[in-house]
Amino acid sequence: MSQTKQSSLLDATVVSTNRLASLADRVDTTDERPELDVRTPIKDEPIGAVPAATAEDVAAAVDRARVAQSEWENRSIEDRGDVLRRFGDLVLERREWLLDIVQLETGKARVDALEEILDVPLTCSYYGSNGPSILAESKRTGAVPGLIDAHVTTDPVGVAGVISPWNYPLTLAITDVIPALLAGNAVVCKPDERTPYVALALAELFEEAGLPSGVFEVVTGDGPTVGPALIDRVDHVTFTGGTETGRAVAERTGRNLIGSSLELGGKNPMLVLGDADVETAARGAVEGAFTNAGQLCLAPEGIYVVDSRYEDFLDAFVDATRRLSLGLEFGYRPDVGSLIDSDHLERVQSYVEDARADGASVCAGGRSRPDVGPFCYEPTILTDVDPDSAIATEETFGPVVSVEPVSDAEEAIERANSSSYGLNASVWTTDLARGRSVAREIDCGTVCVNDPYAVGWAAVDAPMGGFGDSGVGRRHGPEGLRRYVEVRTIATSKIGPLGDSPHLPTKWYARAMTAVTRLQRRLVGWF
């Protein structure tokens, strides 16, 4: 495994201690609050501190958002879209500053941070352009066409709460905030306590883009305090994170009778069919499994290869993995960066060691690299994994993937569908029609053919979300916008009440309505 030299910390960035402190000052708390240290995994040392908000602070933030939302809703959707487009332009313009903050907070490779940056203007452009037609008033078929009509209108839900994760702290907050704002809502965002500065930087850019004060609020603090307080006060909750926490969020939103969209864990399969190009598949496996050091909900964690391609694929995959560079610098040389903290490193290490104890073989990687960074772990390939082991059944969320032979595509599909998760999968084949056919048999919300995840994520017009334990609801596409609105039906009768008429005997009314119903059944689809 090659290694790149670790750069100095803030001296190597366009970020300063004072700049981070000014971002922390954006958190509006009612009184002086205790602070939470923000540590960088690059050196495992503090880079700053943010307020530890209380439930009262959350309530005040939601109140400010609710006041600001009424004015924001009254602006045209085209005007709101213009603000979002300007925001997307600013994200691109200030990308070096944002990239440095993302790397400081997460320790990820710069190329992985760039994926987050590029996603934002694309999402802004999509919703800015398509949002007006998606939310436009629509005419629907009435009970008696020609005599009764129906129209559907939409209103924003009010204040949306977005609880964002540490692994993609920029895009996994903003990709949900953008449609919520376009729909006329205000948003209160609770970033993970390990990665608050990115959200605060984005709040600053929103303000510069012309978003009114209070429409996008950020509250920092620990999850057990801020999360429940936020859920109890907003009108919709969007959460990205672990499945068990997602269940708690769903239970609380259910009690409050508000909507929620939850993207949760994944144990994502990759299927390499007998006619696959092994070099292409191996390159895809590297890109999928080791992007962001495997801390990606869409990353493949189990690869099933048809016997006839197994040895060739494994050789190509191992060779490509061993060529990856592991490093922590503010440039584009390293391929793989750090895990987020010591707890996560310990989790990944224990999964690999337990797998070894159960008979698994390590073909590449398999060890931590404190010489590179305190939480760095080598990209790791395992074979002969016990199918009942933790690493085979639970989400590892690190740079670890298993490769197993299967007899044919049918067995690969069966293995893929044996998990309780269903977020993302990929199919590798030179026969695209067959690839799409196999994809339809896999129980996942997104299935990519000849790409590990990027073509599905980047298709912002298509919904993205999970089956089973991977969550409920969808982001992206029209579905990602409609979750943030209430739908109203306005039905109008040109003949008065649709019911028994005092001027018509009940028997005649029954015959007439039966005849109308029979006619409508014959004319279904004509109106």
Of 250, 267, 247, 268, nearest to 259 (Cα)?
250
In this structure, is the dihedral angle defined by the CA atoms of residues 369, 374, 195 and 117, taken in order, positive or negative? negative
Which is it for strands 300-306 and 400-406: parallel, antiparallel or unpaired? Answer: parallel
Phi, psi angle pair for 374, to nearest 5°: -60, -25
Sheet holding 259-263, edge to edge: 216-218, 186-190, 159-163, 236-240, 259-263, 471-472
Concatenate the DSSP letters of all residues of 53-90 into one string. Answer: --HHHHHHHHHHHHHHHHHHHTS-HHHHHHHHHHHHHH
The one-letter amino acid at 498: L
| Whether residue 263 lies in the annotated active site | yes
320 within 8 A of 286, measured Cβ to Cβ: yes
Of 216, 171, 236, nearest to 80 (Cα)?
216
Residue 93 to residue 407: CA distance in whole angstroms: 51
Residues ≥6 apart with Cβ < 8 Å to 417: 441, 442, 443
Query: 């707890």: which residue's tokens?
Result: 343
Residue 66 to residue 64: CA distance in whole angstroms: 5
Residue 113 to residue 106: CA distance in whole angstroms: 9
Return the SS3 of 439: helix
Among the listed residues 115, 193, 263, 395, the single catalytic one is 263
Alpha-helical segments (H) within 257-367: 278-290, 307-322, 342-357
Q: Which long-range contacts (CB under 8 A, 24 or more apart) does 129-133 make?
A: 129/81, 130/461, 130/478, 131/77, 131/81, 131/179, 131/182, 131/183, 131/481, 132/77, 132/78, 132/81
Per-residue tokens: 209: 């883009």
266 within 8 A of 190, measured Cβ to Cβ: no
The one-letter amino acid at 88: G
| Catalytically annotated residues | 263
